Structure formats: C-alpha cells, structure tokens
C-alpha cells in the first residue's frame, strides 16, 4: 500500500488505536506519507508489526504498543511508552472499536451488548481522557474519535453498535467544549459503507443471517441492497476515511471542533 501526500505533518506524531485494523492501517499510511511519526496501539501484536514494517518505506519514526483500551492503566502505559519512544504526540485517532452482534432488539445477547459498550464507549473515553491530559500539558493538538453513520441514523439489528456510536458523537461534542481552552480540537468521523475489508464482509453476512424484513438471506444480495442505498452507488474506500481523518487533524480544519464529519456517499 502507498499513500499520496496531501497535508504536511512533518515533525508531528499521530497515535492510532486499532492500528492493526483496516482503517487504522490506511490512516497510518496517510500520515506517514505526509511526514508524521506513527504510534500504533492494538491488542493484535503480529498484525501491528506487519503495519509497522510497511511504514518503514516512509522513513518516519514508528512504534507499536500493545494496549487494551478497556483498561485505563493499559492506556496510560501505552501513552507513556509512545512519548518515550517517539518524543511527542500531536494527534490522536481514537479508532479502536468492535462491531458487535447482529440481532433484533428482543434477541440481542446481553453479554455482547456489554462488550460493545466496554470497547466502543468506555474504551473511547479512556483514550480521550489520556489524550486530553497529554495534549493539555504540551499546549494543544487534535483528536478524532471514530464514530459511525450508525450513530447518526440507527441501523436495524445493530442495537449495541448504534448506541455506542451515538455515545461517541455526544462525547465528542462535550469534549470539544471542555478542551477548547487548552487548544485541543476534538472531532468525530462517521463513515457509512466502507470496503472492501473485514467489517464490510462481516456485516453483509451477519445482516443476511438475521432474517429481518430489511435484508435478503443471501449476503451477495445484501451487498447490492446496501450499495443501492448509497446515492453515489458505491462503497467508500479505506483511503477516503483516512483522508477525512487527515483533514480534521490538519491546519485546514483549525477552526473546526465538535463536528461530526459524515463519510457516507450521500446517505
């Protein structure tokens, strides 16, 4: 994978949670191509190491840090390690998340609901708090929280995920107000249908398996049903999500905070 430089982040460092995933990887490439050092946080150390190896071609500092976002002590340790190894953190992409089960509300599993909330809400809060403390102490910076179009218009059969992403948008709006006096901008990004990739394949297969009135039982048909709901009639790419993150972090967005950028193809 290669990325085209657009914004200038030379001498800066971005910390990316969920750094081993598809969106985390694409964003790491986008920022490294623009001169930024990259700190990757994830539980999947082998995949994180693969991403770090890919980033070597950009000749920027790269560090990998194992981190469970649901444990604040783990988050604090990862931030400390990133600063020690890379020297600074200027941007934080609060990206780690879990899609959860696909089931009707009356059948949604309680344990999975709690897992989604722990990762997507509590985990996002932990990273947001640690980022706020660090950026406050160094004189400012920018945070982008990964939300979802599911947190704008709740989709069927995704109760926990929708609830968690509505919460992320709310946290973003409040944190933007709280942190503005410190020169910290906080925005959210809400992609809709993005692919190809693990999450796209997973959601088409699991929506088909629910047996609801909204989607066909054949995942291939579900794919087309979903794409037909997009005015632009295509999936968004991972690179287009990364572009949104780069814009919100950049100086071009210097007067934008508390905003939820929808990357949806017009949905």
Active site residues: 161
Count the Cβ atoms, other than its own, within 10 Å of residue 217: 12
- What tokens does 229 get? 């709901």
DSSP letters for 41-70: EES-HHHHHHHHHHHGGG---EEEEE--TT
For 230, which DSSP code?
S
In the block, residue with structure tokens 């309680």: 110
Residue 263: both structure tokens together: 């990357």
Question: What is the largest distance, in Å, between two alpha-carbon atoms of the chain?
Answer: 53
In this structure, the strands spanning 37-42 and 184-191 are unpaired
């Amino acid at each position: 994978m290669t990325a085209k430089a657009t914004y200038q982040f030379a001498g800066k460092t971005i910390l990316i949670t969920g750094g081993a995933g598809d969106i985390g990887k694409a964003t790491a490439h986008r920022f490294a191509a623009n001169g930024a050092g990259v700190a990757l946080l994830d539980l999947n150390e082998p995949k994180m190491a693969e991403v770090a190896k890919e980033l070597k071609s950009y000749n920027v500092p790269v560090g990998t840090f194992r981190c469970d976002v649901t444990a604040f002590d783990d988050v604090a340790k990862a931030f400390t390690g990133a600063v020690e190894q890379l020297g600074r953190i200027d941007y934080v992409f609060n990206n780690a998340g879990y899609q959860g089960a696909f089931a009707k509300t009356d059948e949604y599993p309680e344990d999975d609901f709690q897992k989604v909330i722990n990762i997507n809400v509590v985990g996002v809060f932990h990273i947001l708090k640690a980022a706020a403390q660090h950026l406050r102490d160094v004189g400012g910076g920018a945070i982008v929280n990964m939300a979802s179009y599911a947190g704008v218009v709740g989709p069927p059969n995704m109760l926990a995920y929708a609830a968690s992403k509505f919460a992320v948008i709310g946290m973003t709006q409040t944190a933007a107000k709280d942190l503005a006096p410190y020169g910290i901008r906080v925005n959210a990004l809400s992609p809709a249908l993005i692919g190809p990739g693990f999450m796209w394949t997973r959601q088409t297969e699991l929506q088909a398996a629910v047996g609801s009135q909204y989607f066909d039982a054949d995942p291939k048909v579900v794919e087309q049903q979903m794409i037909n709901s997009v005015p632009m009639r295509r999936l968004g790419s991972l690179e287009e999500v990364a572009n949104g993150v780069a814009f919100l972090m950049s100086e071009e967005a210097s007067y934008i905070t508390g905003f939820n950028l929808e990357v949806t193809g017009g949905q």
